């Protein structure tokens, strides 16, 4: 709600390994100018992030981000801030700006060889609720946990960015039997984060409580990272019966507040006996 100029320039999240923002406050005009030039990619990288973070509504923002997304080329992991890093940030920003004009280029990015870009594109297509993405996502995940969900020989990453792709299917919301059947085996994936994403998607698509139980159980997982993911997933679904377990789990209040915001805002979709006011009161006590 505040004008962008009054927001202290925040860095990309610490978990974002692509973070290169230099953090000084810039104006929307400056961000657009930085994205338009091609000489300095670290400027483009920061500008793409800035436009998404500040939900720019400037008419040039989406076309420039689409151009930046098209700049990608075969990946060279040794280059510093490379075109693909700019493309990934552009893909993320396009999801936040909510303009369906970005969908075709994001769909193309789902088949890029850079899995980081596929991941960013999948998340953004989910945010845009892009129905056209369902077929591509199903195709990429069709080989199941043993194929798409297998660990790569050369890195700890999976063949496909399964977490983002499963979450996108849940967010897009096409609850056809083919989608459900494809997601279900991922609820038994060896990695808890993938199980969490699969349960989240199935809970969103079916509203069946049996998919909530594993998510609530993950709130007791020994790893903080897993508890955080389960918090975000229950929040994204808005599963109000999880109110108590969310308040109890060992994690930062900041994340619990985000999850509870989801329970308030998304929770009315489910048959919930817990009223929004009870969730608000729980939020008050976490401030």
Partner 1 sequence: MDSIGERIQAVRQAASAQTMLAATCALAASDHGDSVNGEAIACLVEVLGFNNPGAAVAAVDGLIRLGPMAVEPILDSLDPRNYGARAWAVRALAGIGDVRGLDLLEEALASDVGPSVRRAAACGLGSLQLKALKPHQRTAVRERALLALLGGCHDGEWVVRYAVSVGLESLGLRLEPQPQEQLQLLKALAALGQPDLEDTVVVRLRARLAHQRLLALMPAAGIEAQAQADDRP
Task: Mention every residue, 6+ apart, whose C-beta is less than 8 A from residue 118.
Answer: 109, 110, 111, 112, 140, 160, 161, 164, 165
User: Exposure of 247 by Cβ count < 10 A (0-12 exposed, 13-18 middle, 19+ buried)?
Assistant: middle
Nearer to partner 1, 12 or 161 (CB): 12
| Of 137-145, 164-172, 182-190, 277-285: span binding partner 1 (CB under 8 A) | 277-285
Of 17, 155, 254, 273, the one binding partner 1 (CB under 8 A) is: 254
261 is an interface residue for partner 1 by CB under 8 A: yes
Query: Is residue 19 involved in binding partner 1 (CB under 8 A)?
Result: no
Question: If we measure between CA atoms, which residue out of 156, 54, 126 comes closest to residue 97?
Answer: 54
Close Cβ partners of 113 (under 8 Å, ≥ 6 residues apart): 74, 75
* Residue whose CB is less far from partner 1, 1 or 39: 1
Q: How far is the CB of 247 from partner 1 (least distance, A)?
A: 15
Among 107, 257, 272, 278, the residue binding partner 1 under the rule CB under 8 A is 257
Q: Which is nearer to partner 1, 107 or 278 (CB)?
A: 278
- Rounded to a whole number of angstroms, the minimum distance from the CB of residue 183 to partner 1 is 28
> Binding of partner 1 at residue 24 (CB under 8 A)?
no
- Please tell me the distance from the alpha carbon of residue 253 to that of residue 93, in angstroms, as a whole number: 26
Cα(75)–Cα(13) distance, integer angstroms: 23
1 binds partner 1 (CB under 8 A): yes
Q: Rule CB under 8 A: say whether 97 interacts with partner 1.
A: no
Please report, for residues 66, 83, 113, 135, 163, the alpha-carbon distance to residue 169 in angstroms, rounded to integers and kept in the order given: 23, 28, 20, 10, 10
CB atoms within 10 A of CB 220: 13
* Calpha distance 225→188 (Å, rounded): 18
Q: Does 13 bind partner 1 (CB under 8 A)?
A: no
Q: How many residues of this chain interact with partner 1, rule: CB under 8 A?
A: 20
Of 155 and 254, the one with the shorter C-beta distance to partner 1 is: 254
Q: Mapping DSSP to helix (H, G, I), strand (E, B) and coil, where does residue 87 land?
A: helix
Residue 38 CB, shortest distance to partner 1, in Å, is: 30
**Using rule CB under 8 A, residue 253 touches partner 1:** yes
Name the residues that contact partner 1, by CB under 8 A. Answer: 1-2, 6-8, 10, 252-254, 257-258, 261, 264-265, 276-277, 280, 283-284, 287
């Amino acid at each position: 709600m505040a004008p962008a100029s009054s927001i202290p320039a925040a860095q990309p999240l610490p978990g974002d390994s692509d973070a290169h923002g230099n953090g000084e406050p810039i104006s929307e005009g400056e961000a657009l100018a930085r994205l338009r030039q091609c000489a300095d990619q670290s400027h483009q990288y920061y500008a793409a992030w800035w436009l998404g973070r500040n939900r720019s509504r400037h008419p040039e923002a989406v076309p420039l981000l689409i151009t930046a997304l098209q700049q990608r080329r075969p990946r060279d992991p040794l280059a510093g801030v490379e075109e693909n890093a700019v493309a990934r940030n552009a893909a993320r920003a396009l999801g936040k700006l909510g303009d369906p004009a970005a969908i075709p280029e994001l769909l193309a990015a789902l088949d890029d060889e850079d899995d980081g870009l596929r991941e960013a594109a999948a998340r953004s297509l989910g945010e845009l609720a892009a129905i056209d993405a369902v077929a591509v996502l199903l195709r990429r995940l069709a080989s199941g946990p043993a194929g798409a969900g297998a660990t790569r020989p050369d890195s700890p990453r999976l063949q496909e960015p399964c977490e983002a792709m499963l979450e996108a299917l849940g967010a897009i919301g096409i609850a056809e039997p083919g989608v459900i059947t494809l997601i279900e085996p991922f609820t038994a994936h060896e990695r808890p984060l993938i199980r969490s994403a699969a349960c989240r998607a199935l809970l969103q698509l079916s509203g069946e409580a049996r998919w909530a139980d594993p998510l609530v159980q993950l709130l007791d997982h020994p790893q903080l990272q897993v508890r955080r993911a389960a918090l975000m997933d229950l929040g994204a679904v808005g599963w109000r019966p999880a109110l108590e377990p969310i308040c109890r789990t060992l994690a930062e209040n900041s994340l619990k507040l985000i999850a509870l915001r989801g329970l308030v805002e998304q929770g009315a979709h489910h048959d919930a006996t817990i009223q929004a006011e009870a969730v608000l009161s729980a939020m008050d006590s976490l401030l």
